[in-house]
Amino acid sequence: MTSWLLDLDYTLFRWINGLAGRNVLADSAMRAFCNDHLVPFTLGFLALVLVLKGRHRADDRLNLAAAIRIFFTVALSAALMQAIIVFVHRPRPFVDHEVNLLFYKPVDWSFPSNPATATFSFFFSARLSDRRTWWWFFPPAFLMSFARVYCGVHYPGDVLAGALLALCSAYLVHRLDFLSRPFVSLALRLESRLRSALSMRE
């Protein structure tokens, strides 16, 4: 069973990575999305927009709580990912195979995908917190995960595992919201004091 899944994973990898090198514009776009900085910065900016987009005071409080849960989810998924890496040592695709490599060679293990874990943590947490703007977070998360396979630094199974890990982390954070509640309360108090200091209406 495991062998069959690995063969399927490699077949999907070859198909996606085989698209690389055929079109200069596509390759440039995939390199940009594969980058370690562009998509994480974009998702952080979207989380800030989420905080600031409220139309009234109640929205502001809900959005601030949602942003805090997002970063709790990112932290939990990162911790779980590191625990998995201790036991699962899967080499990068370019170690064992000929690939169309469009990115530098990361030296850490391939499974699960760190970028997919982090970016989908934003998406799934936003999905559970805010039913109106959660879709903002999906395109960056999907494009970065796809680009990592396209550029030859991850298998599809790596990014799928990262997304599933992010989903489980988001569910736990939202299910056990009492863990983040003290931080939400602290943030709301600080926000209220800031508003008062700036002579803003409550």
Residue 74 lies in a domain: yes
Q: What angle do CA 9, 92, 138 make, to 5 degrees?
A: 65
Confidence of residue 78 (pLDDT cuts 50, 70, 90): very high
Give this prediction's pTM. Answer: 0.84
Each residue's pLDDT tens digit, 29-57: 999 999 888 888 888 888 777 767 656 55
Residue 202 lies in a domain: no
Residue 22 lies in a domain: yes
Q: Which of 29, 60, 42 is nearest to 136 (CA)?
A: 42
What is the predicted pLDDT for the residue at 150?
Answer: 93
Number of domains in the chain: 1
- Chain-centre distance of CA 59, in angstroms? 24
Residue 137 lies in a domain: yes
Residue 159 lies in a domain: yes
Residue 28 lies in a domain: yes
109, amino acid identity: W
Peptide bond into 140 cis (omega under 30): no
H or E stretch at 174: helix 156-175
Q: Whole domain around residue 143: which residue ranges?
A: 2-197
Each residue's pLDDT tens digit, 122-178: 999 888 876 677 788 899 999 999 999 999 999 999 999 999 999 999 999 988 876
Tokens 């999905």 map to which residue? 127
Least confident piece of the model among 57-61, 104-108, 146-150: 57-61
Least confident piece of the model among 47-56, 102-111, 127-136, 188-197: 188-197
Percent of the chain with pLDDT over 90: 36
Residue 40 lies in a domain: yes
Q: Per-residue DSSP letters for 44-102?
A: HHHHHHHHH--SSHHHHHHHHHHHHHHHHHHHHHHHHHHHHHHH--PPPHHHHS-----
What is the predicted pLDDT for the residue at 97?
Answer: 86
Residue 146 lies in a domain: yes
Q: Count of residues for the chain?
A: 202
Give the CATH number, domain containing residue 47. 1.20.144
